[in-house]
Amino acid sequence: GENVEQHPSTLSVQEGDSAVIKCTYSDSASNYFPWYKQELGKRPQLIIDIRSNVGEKKDQRIAVTLNKTAKHFSLHITETQPEDSAVYFCAATRGSFDEKLTFGTGTRLTIIP
Amino acid sequence: DTAVSQTPKYLVTQMGNDKSIKCEQNLGHDTMYWYKQDSKKFLKIMFSYNNKELIINETVPNRFSPKSPDKAHLNLHINSLELGDSAVYFCASSHMGEQYFGPGTRLTVT
């Protein structure tokens, strides 16, 4: 089955600086890679995703890159703000209805004002 | 117009009791899930249903029994609750891999 590793487990960044979270996956058939943000006491929320037919996707201050050859993908947050503080999860799946989403172990991001 | 809803939000109960958590989605998705999130924040899938049929059943004690009366609902019944069952349980629904989570149910077993 799929195995997703996520690093780092904790990350502290000065407000305004950039943050990068990296994930690797094991199943070369995985083709959908979402990122979730979970604020304290809240549900995980999809913030950005990428499918295997593209190498990069951007949405305002967040971007995701995918390297299928190396089987890794990364989340980039630029110009970080205090409201970016949360736990971030990466995930991978083959994307069909009977394939589960395999989550990374999460990164607790703290933005220092 | 909540997309995925769960009830109750909090559940405090004693060991040995039986409890149920209900989940409903109005997104029209065919696939629904139950996840358990422990104190370390790890998200572990428990079950997945597609169109009322069980398609994923991870290594979960048989004290946990999901039921899907229709594709918009997936309920979770837990028998003989144990201390280790204390966690946040999230329901989710998905289409083409995109998953949307419910608000979670914080279960505390004393």
DSSP string, A59-103: ETTEEEEEETTTTEEEEEE-S--GGG-EEEEEEEB--STTSPPEE
Q: Which residues of B touch A106 (CB under 8 A)?
A: 41-43
Rg (CA), chain B: 13
Predicted confidence band of residue B51 (pLDDT cuts 50, 70, 90): confident
Question: Between B33, B56, B96, which is nearest A95 by CB?
Answer: B96
Q: What is the pLDDT of residue B50?
A: 87
Residue type at B51 in one-letter notation: N
Predicted confidence band of residue B81 (pLDDT cuts 50, 70, 90): very high
- The string of pLDDT tens digits covering residues A98-109 is 678 899 999 999
Q: Which two tokens stand for residue A89?
A: 């999860």
- A90: nearest Cα among A106, A72, A111: A106
First to last CA, chain A: 41
User: What whole-number distance in Å separates Cα of residue A101 and Cα of residue A92?
Assistant: 6
Q: Which residues of B touch A45 (CB under 8 A)?
A: 101
- Residue B10 touches partner A, C-beta closer than 8 Å: no
Are B101 and A43 in contact (CB < 8 Å)?
yes
Virtual CA dihedral for A11, A14, A16, A20, nearest 10 degrees?
-20
Q: What is the pLDDT of residue A96?
A: 67
CA of B64 vs chain A CAs: smallest distance (Å): 19
- B90: nearest Cα among A2, A4, A92, A44: A44
Evaluate the omega torsion of the peptide bond into residue B66 and state whether it is cis, within 30 degrees of 0. no
Distances (CA, A) of B98 to A32, A42, A93, B31, B80: 9, 18, 10, 10, 33
Q: Which residues of A touch B96 (CB under 8 A)?
A: 32, 95
- The string of pLDDT tens digits covering residues A25-64 is 999 999 999 999 999 999 999 999 999 888 999 999 999 9
